[in-house]
A = this chain, B = another copy of it.
């Protein structure tokens, strides 16, 4: 579950409600494409903007439509009290693992972040993925802190931010972190633009925004990068497939992957609205036109809402 491809799904929503049928379709689409796990209530799933009840409901819908594909559930919140409540809810809803970022309002110290993971892992009975996302949490993990947290019970994987584009530097980054981790704790890349580089240079998993929208294409990249029972790994092919997505990666960098993924889902007919909680705004005008163009250059298979 902590290797291969994890598809992080949007939570289709408007200001009043969650669009449960659209969520179910996104989950089924990714599961049918053969992703190794589903990431629900990640940053792409707008977890930070939802109430406890909404989060519980999103998980229930996702688990009931995921079939045999395991569901990772985001449990982050500003307050430890709330993280513990989300962890309990996620386990009760049938999540196979939880994902935790050190969300902050007051900037957190390393001791506070360690304490958060200590408090939460002490109460868990499923594995935990450490979610290192400085863009949204504004907390910068040191490798020493990652090493300390990885020793805690239930820690199974670390979701790391983008690696350098230079392949040698990417390999160095991943091997330096791996040297500090207990055996069996995997390293997964987020930052879709650098995923093919990371997967072909030592990363075990891809925690992917795009796979929530275009799962077949991302499965193809991942199988090429890591190999599979049916095919030997083929790094060049993985990198070439990813390079074709450069227009999308540029848009991710420019507008944030959530805004682009939300626009893409709407353009592809997977959702009926922009799916961004206000004050976040849907892309419009030239930005949206650029997403249309980027999607239009993909193979027809990937452009179908199926």
Contacts and interface: CB of A to CB of B under 8 A. Distances in A.
B49 A279 contact: no
B113 A279 contact: yes
Contacts of A281: 109, 111-112, 115
A119 B79 contact: no
A135 interface: yes
A78 interface: yes
Give the contact-size bracket for chain A: 20 to 34
Contacts of A115: 278-279, 281
Contact of A116 (B103, B135, B279): B279
A81 interface: yes
Given A81-B15, A138-B138, A280 B106 contact: yes
Interface in A95-116: 102-103, 105-109, 111-113, 115-116
A279 B48 contact: no
Given A113-B279, A277-B81, A106 B256 contact: yes
A105 B278 contact: no
B278 A116 contact: yes
B279 A105 contact: no
A136 B15 CA distance: 25
Contacts of A278: 79-81, 115-116, 119
Interface of A: 15, 43, 48-49, 78-81, 102-103, 105-109, 111-113, 115-116, 119, 135-136, 138, 256, 258-259, 277-281
